[in-house]
Amino acid sequence: MKDTFAQHDVRVVALSKDTVEQAAHHRDRDGLTLQLLADPKLKVIERFGLLHHKSVEFGISFSVLGVPMGLPTGSKTMAIPTSILIDEHGVIRWIDQAEDYRIRGDERRVTDALAEAFG
């Protein structure tokens, strides 16, 4: 989607609960060129109302016949995957938020939203 974002002069910024070190690791590992912001204490994420309190934390890990497994030991708080298009004036033009934290925004929906918001 890099070309599509460039066509609309859109800068992509990602915010996660990762630490600065974890974000740098993901950037280097995945060859990312977008700006990654770290919010390990979830302060910014909470201010945007994007906290997800229902994710299961697997504290006990093991494998069965080579398949990684885990036993839930509680829940953890994380960010709800959300895509937000904000224009140059700071106006939110589009929001896409997943019901399931494992699902990310669909490329077609993002492309359509870019065309509608920015022509």
Q: Is the pLDDT of residue 56 over 60?
A: no
- Residue 73 is predicted with a pLDDT of 65
Asked if the structure places residue 27 within a domain, the reply is yes
Q: Is the pLDDT of residue 7 over 70?
A: yes
Domain of 40 in residue numbering reads as 2-52+78-118
CA angle 55, 18, 2 (to 5 degrees): 100
**The 3-state secondary structure of 63-96, one letter per residue:** EECCEEEEEEEEEEEEECCEEEEECCCCCEEEEE
Percentage helix, strand, coil for the chain under 3-state DSSP, each rounded to 5: 30, 40, 35
Residue 34's φ and ψ, nearest 5 degrees, are -75, 160
Q: Is the pLDDT of residue 4 over 80?
A: yes
Asked if the structure places residue 65 within a domain, the reply is no
Q: Which residue has the higher pLDDT, 112 or 56?
A: 112
Q: Residue 26 belongs to a domain with what CATH number?
A: 3.40.30.10
Asked if the structure places residue 21 within a domain, the reply is yes
What is the C-alpha separation between 33 and 62, in angstroms, rounded? 35
Asked if the structure places residue 70 within a domain, the reply is no
User: What's the pLDDT tens digit per position in 73-103?
Assistant: 666 677 777 888 888 888 888 888 877 666 6
What is the C-alpha separation between 11 and 85, in angstroms, rounded? 10
- Residue 23 is predicted with a pLDDT of 92
Asked if the structure places residue 60 within a domain, the reply is no
For the chain, how many structural domains are there in total? 1
Q: Which two tokens stand for residue 34?
A: 């977008």
Is the distance from CB of 33 to CB of 24 less than 8 angstroms? no
User: What's the pLDDT tens digit per position in 29-55?
Assistant: 999 988 999 999 989 988 888 877 666
Rg (CA), the chain: 17
Asked if the structure places residue 57 within a domain, the reply is no
Asked if the structure places residue 83 within a domain, the reply is yes
Q: Is the pLDDT of residue 111 over 60?
A: yes
Asked if the structure places residue 108 within a domain, the reply is yes
